[in-house]
């Protein structure tokens, strides 16, 4: 006897975005296709169960996350983006971190989806924006002209007042809009293209820079890409991490770099974990690198030390 267990990636996203009815329809289609490949003696089944302990923890985390946002109990870490030509860094990506007093470190891939499922993504994003802009202001006063990127969810693009809220934060902390970059995925844009385009045009009109994150994994059309006010594409780590060993991944990366440059866009490769990948990207004329090979996400003070060491290394 053999048992094969199959998990559908991002299935929760289908339920949360389109509703459980569409999730059930998707499962029916998957089941039908699996049955077509099996003999009559083989069985396809789906044993949905409710883990009370998991559900209790989830409910507790929802309440705790709401309090953490309200009480300023979250922390921002910053991962540098490094110029592949000069080896210097002039921008970072702000990433939320949560250390819970009871549950310990709660990974972002747990609490970010939780925030999106419960509507907490709105206040969470605003907390990240304010904390990041405040930190950018501190760096600027200290003589560090460092751009900062913040991730947006598709839910944030449905906030009609988002551009005005960000403009107020920039003005309050006396930050030039050029230092703020907003990153969003293809799927976030495609969930409501017309409305997303309107919001992005207003943000771009303020002088804020826009990046398409995880490029290559979504389902957007190039026709939409040329309409969007973006100036940067971030190649998804799933293509970058193994491009030194897998030729098709290298081909995809090369194609995205060529496409982006032909459209006048900058390119960031994320997920760089070794020197071989760095060298390949440099040879492909990619603009910027981000990944553990250069630096993991760091607290603000550690990032400042890292930047100083990097500056001294490059100067040497």
Q: Give the domain CATH number at 259.
A: 3.20.20.450
Q: What is the pLDDT of residue 260?
A: 93
- Under 8 Å between Cβ of 243 and 280: yes
Residues 179 and 266 in one domain: yes
Residues 33 and 81 in one domain: no
Q: Are strands 288-290 and 266-270 parallel, antiparallel or unpaired?
A: parallel
Q: What is the pLDDT of residue 60?
A: 87
Q: Are strands 104-106 and 266-270 parallel, antiparallel or unpaired?
A: unpaired
Say if 105 falls within a structural domain. yes
The Cα–Cα gap between 156 and 119 comes to: 10
Q: DSSP state, 298?
A: B
Say if 56 falls within a structural domain. no
Say if 126 falls within a structural domain. yes
The Cα–Cα gap between 240 and 249 comes to: 7
- Give the dihedral of Cα atoms 217, 220, 224, 228; nearest 10 deg: -40
Alpha carbon separation from 300 to 30, 45, 80, 202, 310 (Å, rounded) = 46, 49, 11, 30, 15
Residues 242 and 165 in one domain: yes
Say if 4 falls within a structural domain. no
Note down the domain range covering 34. 11-48
Number of domains in the chain: 2
The candidate with the shortest Cα–Cα distance to 213, out of 252, 253, 180, 185, is 185
Residues 291 and 203 in one domain: yes
Query: What is the sign, positive or negative, of the torsion defined by CA atoms of 104, 149, 313, 309?
Result: negative
Say if 169 falls within a structural domain. yes
Residues 24 and 172 in one domain: no
DSSP secondary structure string, 255-283?
HHHHHHHHTT-EEEEE---SHHHHHHHHH
Number of helices (H) and strands (E) in the chain: give both, helices first: 13, 9
Residues 107 and 235 in one domain: yes
Say if 18 falls within a structural domain. yes
Query: What is the sign, positive or negative, of the torsion defined by CA atoms of 232, 96, 136, 86?
Result: negative
Tens digit of pLDDT at every position of the chain (316 positions): 888 888 888 787 777 677 777 778 888 888 888 888 888 778 888 876 555 556 777 888 899 999 999 999 999 999 999 999 999 999 999 999 999 988 899 999 999 999 988 889 999 999 999 999 999 999 999 999 999 999 999 889 888 899 999 999 999 999 999 999 999 988 888 777 788 889 999 999 999 999 999 887 766 567 777 788 999 999 999 999 999 999 999 999 999 999 999 999 999 999 999 999 999 999 999 999 999 999 999 999 999 999 998 876 654 4
Burial category of 269 from C-beta neighbours within 10 Å (exposed 0-12, middle 13-18, buried 19 and up):
buried
Residues 23 and 160 in one domain: no
Residues 42 and 81 in one domain: no
Say if 201 falls within a structural domain. yes
Rg (CA), the chain: 21
Q: What is the pLDDT of residue 220?
A: 55
Say if 59 falls within a structural domain. no
Residues 22 and 149 in one domain: no
pTM for this prediction: 0.81
- With a CB cutoff of 8 Å and minimum separation 6, the contacts of 251 are none
């Amino acid at each position: 006897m053999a048992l094969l267990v199959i998990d559908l990636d991002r299935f929760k996203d289908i339920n949360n975005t389109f509703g459980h009815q569409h999730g059930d329809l998707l499962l029916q289609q998957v089941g039908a296709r699996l049955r077509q490949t099996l003999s009559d003696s083989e069985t396809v089944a789906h044993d949905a169960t409710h883990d009370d302990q998991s559900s209790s923890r989830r409910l507790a985390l929802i309440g705790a996350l709401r309090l953490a946002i309200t009480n300023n109990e979250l922390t921002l870490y910053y991962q540098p983006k490094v110029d592949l030509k000069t080896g210097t860094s002039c921008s970072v990506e702000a990433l939320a971190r949560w250390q819970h007093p009871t549950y310990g470190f709660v990974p972002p891939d747990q609490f970010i989806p939780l925030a999106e499922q419960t509507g907490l993504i709105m206040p969470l994003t605003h907390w990240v924006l304010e904390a990041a802009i405040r930190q950018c202001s501190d760096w600027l006063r200290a003589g560090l002209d460092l751009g900062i990127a913040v991730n947006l969810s598709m839910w944030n693009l449905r906030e009609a007042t988002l551009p005005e809220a960000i403009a107020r934060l920039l003005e309050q902390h006396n930050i030039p809009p050029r230092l703020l970059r907003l990153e969003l995925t293809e799927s976030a844009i495609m969930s409501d293209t017309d409305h997303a385009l309107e919001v992005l045009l207003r943000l771009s009109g303020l002088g804020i820079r826009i990046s398409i994150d995880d490029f290559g994994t979504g389902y957007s059309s190039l026709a939409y890409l040329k309409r969007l006010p973006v100036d940067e594409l971030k190649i998804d780590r799933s293509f970058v991490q193994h491009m030194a060993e897998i030729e098709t991944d290298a081909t995809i990366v090369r194609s995205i770099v060529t496409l982006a440059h032909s459209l006048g866009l900058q390119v960031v490769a994320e997920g760089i974990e070794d020197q071989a990948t760095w060298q390949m990207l440099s040879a492909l004329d990619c603009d910027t690198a981000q990944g553990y090979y250069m630096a993991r996400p760091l607290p603000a003070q550690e990032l400042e030390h890292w930047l100083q060491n990097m500056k001294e290394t490059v100067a040497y």
